[in-house]
A and B are shown apart, each in its own frame.
Chain A
């Protein structure tokens, strides 16, 4: 099958939806894409356009179908081969929106070998590439932490909080200084991402700082920061650090004495009971 025949296996909308789809034809086409290697993959990617610039429903469908079908046990070689072919297109002179689509497919089938190509976009604000890049790296996992660490110091705006959040999601203990610094930021959401990051790495020694910061916050900031303190207490309790967890619950009880904070005192009491 050539590229055109492969793509013709996938449906065009009828009555706005993809109602007539031939499963066997699509599966055969996916096999052809996998066996066709980098050449076929690149030819299909070449047909993907910026949104609004023409009809590329079939090429997008074909690439996605392959990304999801190469997953699972026993398909490691095919998966790496296809993901490498996808990643190779990220170096090309293509519209950023097309690269965004490719990165989203690598979130499904990419691995550590494709991480460097994906990480190149961690600080790229165009077409939300930073977001797609971070999310793909996050699902690939711990092997990608260094890319986040490297990208964070120079990050600004939306990429900055995304990368910081990625470090928290990956529970990177070495990023503790980043989280501590973020907690002092002028931007509320950065401060919250810092507190969340410290919670994610179960940083018992920073519990007091987190609690103090939660008390400085107002409104939404206080709601979320207090929640992260509760979550830290639960994580510490699970890690056999009951003494540290207890200190958090007691501090929250004492520091939230307003009537409208009754539910927080009750929450702390429940946490204390769980420790016993």
Chain B
């Protein structure tokens, strides 16, 4: 176990604590349990996935916490070594295999910024090892992974925050709070609101390049470990390093790259953190087997009638099925409007740092993150399959469409499994 000096505040805490005898290293979160954790405690941290968004995601993990980087992990060792050097002068140990990193006893908090096909498996494993997690968006590559993450963090009582933070602003915005109250009140029947996201989903930017052909694997990259739970494919450089977003095996195009940023706060505003759409209608050409491509629009309708619409603005016709309109207090009767006005504001959302210290759920908790990711996955599946899909948000399966259901929980490559 790596020996790390105590900070003054940490030492003074241990002096008053029954666990003071162990004062030789950072004590992992799971020694203390919950919820009485002094704000001065130092946390052992690590980053898994050190390229691209990695450093930024790690900074988010550290906000408001006293931390010490103890490990950096990447399937490409040049990236983990570079990050360790930049953030710990090389003191943090560099790993290629996250399994070895998670075996450490001095690790409390893990930032995950791998490509998304690894997000769920590593998040779950980190929870199983007793760690709290801040995971880059999108939360998952497919629907069943999200449910498995939710179950794991509930089982182990760990803190999880998805790496998008728009909902924190919305939860402090008066207009958004009002809409949240209207939609969470249950008073809105047969809602005809349509919220549209037009453009900004980087469809062309994150379309993949087909037909490149096998290339030589860089010496520092463990390609088999990179593929991990996704189907093995011959190495092509564009399958890594950011352009991975354009391949179905790892992400899901601009929809998944940008979608969680947009729809996570929308989902909070319209009080849909607990559910998913029931009907998904796409307009898209047949997709390519490997790479993401063009689509025009997708409509996602919830059980109460509320609709999210995505219009790519980069290909095909505009959406014209329903007029775009927002939720309004005027949609309700005078009596119901008074009920809304007397409703208390929703509880403030806790940041990751606050949640870790208080041992409470973070604002971007697993269920909310999963439901937001489901919006993207369901939209993408409708785009890929090219047909209207009916979805049961409780059972999390498509209704009367066995072939579509195959995409909700595709088998992983051994030895990876959820």
Which residues from chain A sit less than 8 Å from chain B, CB to CB? 13, 16-19, 21-23, 26-27, 30, 51-53, 55-57, 60-61, 63-65, 68-69, 71-73, 79, 101, 104-105, 107-109, 128, 131-132, 134-135, 138-139, 158, 161-162, 164-166, 168-169, 189, 192-193, 196, 219-220, 223-224, 226-227, 230, 234, 259-264, 266-267, 270-271
Contacts and interface: CB of A to CB of B under 8 A. Distances in A.
A260 B213 contact: no
Closest 6 pairs (CB-CB, A-B): A71-B403, A65-B286, A52-B213, A263-B30, A64-B289, A23-B285
Given A19-B204, A224-B128, A263-B157, A68 B286 contact: yes
B87 interface: no
A21 B285 contact: yes
A165 B157 contact: no
Interface string B283-300: 111111111011000000
Contacts of A267: 155-157
A56 B211 CA distance: 7
Nearest to A136: B411
B59 interface: no
Nearest to B213: A52
B61 to A, nearest CB: 19
Interface string B306-318: 0000000001100
A51 B31 contact: no
Given A73-B400, A224-B128, A68 B33 contact: no
A23 to B, nearest CB: 4
B214 A262 contact: no
Given A17-B293, A19-B294, A27 B414 contact: no
B286 A64 contact: yes
Most buried by A among B231, B246, B411: B411
Given A13-B211, A64-B287, A131-B414, A72 B294 contact: no
A169 B411 contact: yes
A56 B246 CA distance: 19
A220 B411 contact: no
A219 B98 CA distance: 12
Interface in B380-418: 384-387, 400-404, 406, 410-411, 413-415, 417
B30 A68 contact: no
30 contacts: A17-B207, A17-B293, A18-B291, A19-B293, A19-B294, A23-B316, A52-B213, A60-B289, A61-B288, A64-B287, A69-B286, A71-B387, A71-B401, A73-B401, A109-B403, A131-B231, A138-B411, A161-B415, A189-B415, A219-B100, A219-B103, A220-B99, A223-B128, A224-B128, A227-B152, A259-B19, A259-B22, A262-B33, A266-B34, A267-B155
B293 A52 contact: no
Interface string B20-64: 001000001111111000000000000000000000000000000
Nearest to B407: A108
B129 interface: yes
A242 B403 CA distance: 36
The dominant DSSP class at the A interface is: helix
Nearest to B29: A263
Contact of A227 (B128, B158, B289): B128
Contacts of A261: 30
A19 B312 CA distance: 13
Nearest to A17: B207
B102 interface: yes
B414 A30 contact: no
Most buried by B among A26, A131, A261: A131
Given A64-B286, A134-B414, A220-B99, 13 more contacts: A13-B209, A27-B286, A27-B386, A51-B214, A72-B387, A219-B99, A220-B103, A223-B128, A262-B32, A263-B33, A263-B130, A264-B130, A266-B34
A61 B289 contact: yes
A266 B157 contact: yes
Interface in B183-234: 204, 207-211, 213-214, 231-232, 234
A161 B406 contact: no
A224 B31 contact: no
Given A220-B99, A259-B31, A51 B234 contact: yes
Contacts of B403: 68, 71-72, 79, 108-109
B105 interface: yes
A270 B157 contact: yes
A270 B213 CA distance: 51
Given A55-B211, A68-B386, A267-B155, A139 B411 contact: yes
A169 B130 contact: no
Contacts of B31: 259-260, 262
A223 B121 CA distance: 13
A69 B285 CA distance: 11
A260 B286 contact: no
Contact of B404 (A23, A71, A158): A71
B65 interface: no
A224 B384 CA distance: 34
A23 B207 contact: no
B289 A17 contact: no
B226 to A, nearest CB: 14
B207 A19 contact: yes
B385 A71 contact: yes
A230 B127 CA distance: 13
A26 to B, nearest CB: 5
Contacts of B213: 51-53
A47 to B, nearest CB: 13
Contacts of B291: 17-18
A65 B285 CA distance: 9
B125 interface: yes
A153 B213 CA distance: 35
Contacts of A169: 411, 417
B209 A17 contact: yes
Contacts of B156: 263, 267
Given A71-B403, A139-B406, A19 B209 contact: no
Nearest to B156: A267
A19 B34 contact: no
